[in-house]
Structure 1
C-alpha cells in the first residue's frame, strides 16, 4: 500500500527543472522525428505554403539544402512528397525514373547517403489530374485492384532511386502485399515498407492539400480512408498490413487519435509511427500568432503526448526546429 500525506509528497520530484528532467517518464530525441518535405517540379524558387508557416514547396536545390540541415540537426528521417509539372489520369510521373521524387531521391542519396533515412510517400493523389489516390473508373470510383498495379510500379521506381523506406498511404486493400512482392521481384528485398495502416478520413488534412496540390477534384476519400468513429477497425488494418509484409505501421493523424496510437502500440512488436498532420501544425501556429498560447510549449506538449501514447516515430513539420532545441538542451 502506498504511503499517504504527509509522508507521500509527490511534489518533491517536481521542485526544479533538473529534477523534472531526471524523473521524466517520456523523452523525445531528434532521431525519433521525421520531417515531411515537398519538392515541386519546374519552379525556380521555393514556394511558401500560405497555410503552413515555414513550410515550402522546394526546388531540387532548396530541398538538398533543407535536407542537409535536417541531417545536421539529427533528425531521423525525411518523408518526400512530389508535385509533378504535368498530371494525368493514371499518374505516370509517379513511377517515371525521371519523375520529381525519383530525381530528388537520387540527389539526396548522393549528397547525404545514410546520414538520414530517406522515405518516399507512395500514393497517386499528387500525380493525378483528378486528385484521387488511385485509378478512377468511368463511374468515378477508385478501382482498388488496378491501383495496386500502379503502386507496385511506383515502389520499384522509388527503391531504385534510393528510398530506404517506401510508405504507401492510399489505404487500398492489399497494397502492402502488392508492394512487398514487387520490391522483392525487382531486387529490392532490403527496402522497408512503412504502411499508413490506420489513416483516417480527417478534417485536419486541409493545409497539406495546398502544399501537395493533391485535393480531390470531385467527391472525397471516405470510401478508402477510415471512419473517425472506428478504432477496432484500425487494429484489423494494422494486422493485415503486418501479415502482408509491413516493417513499420503508422497512425494518421496523431493528435485526435492518441487512443489508436496506444492500442496499436500495445498490439504489435514493430515500430509505430504517428503523423502530426498539417492541420495540427497550422492550428498551433495560428493560435501562437494570435498570442493565444505559448508556441514552444504547445509544440513540445503536443509531441510529448504523441510519444507518451506509444509512438516510436513522429512525423512532424517541426522536426528540425525541435531537434535543434533538443540538441541545445543536451549540450
Structure 2
C-alpha cells in the first residue's frame, strides 16, 4: 500500500569539523538519490525544494523555492537547483539550509515493477554550517513482512526488503555513520536495516492504512476546496459503481457512487502523487454541483462521466461504470497500485 504520510524514516548526522557550504546540502541529497537509483528504487526525475531560514527566528525565511524540477544532472550549471543554491550561498549570517527531494520510485510485485510518484523523500539540513542531517522517508509498505492492512506478504518482502537494506547500507557508507531509525509509528517500526518484523514485535494497529490513511487522504483531497454541507455522504457500506479517471495515460483516481444510499465521492490513486489529489478536488466540486441539482448519486455519476469538470481534470475512460463489492475494495485499489 502507498501512504500519504511516511511509514518509516532513517536519519544520519554528520559532523565534519569543517565549515559546510550550503551547496553541500544539495550534493548530499543528490548522492542519496543516486544510491536509491542504483538499487532500482528511485527514478531519475522528481521535485526538489530549497529553503534557508534564520537560526534565531524560524519565521525569517530568506529563500523558499518549492517544486523545482530535478534534472538528470541536477547540480550542473543553469539548472533550477543550481540557481537556488547560488542564491542561498549569497546570504550572510547564520542559517539553516534545507533541501528536500521527493522521489518517484519502484517496488516489485508479482514479477512486475510498480511506480509511485513519491515512494521516497530525502531531506538534508545544514545547521550553522557545521552539522549535516540527512533523513530518508518511505511512503510504501513493500519492505514489510506484513502490509499496513495487517496481512502477511512474504513474497513481496523477499524481493523488496533486501533492496531497501542495501540502499540504507550504501547511504551509511557515503556518510560514514550508521542511521538512527525513526520511532515506532502507527504503521511500522523502522530499524537500521529496514523495518522490524511485526509478526514478532506486534502491530500497533491491525489495519493502520484503513484506520488512518483513508482519513488523511480525505483531508488532503478536501484541503484545496471550501467546506460545504451541500454534498453526498463520504462513505457507504453498500456496493459502489465507479469510473476510472485518467490524464495523459495515467490513472489518477476513481469517481464513484453508492448503489444503496446517498453516498458518492472520489478516491485518489495515492501512487499518482499530488496530481491525483489536486485534480480530484475538481471531481468533488462536480459532485457538489450534481447534489445541488438534486441528482441521486448514480445519476450524478452518469452526469459527471458525460461532462468532466474541465479539460485539465482528466477524463473518464470507460463507456459504462464498473462495479465494486464495497467502497473498501475501491479504496484498496486506489491505494495499492
Name the structure with the higher strand share.
2
Structure ID, larger Rg: 2
Name the structure with the higher helix share.
1
Return the TM-score normalized by structure 2: 0.24
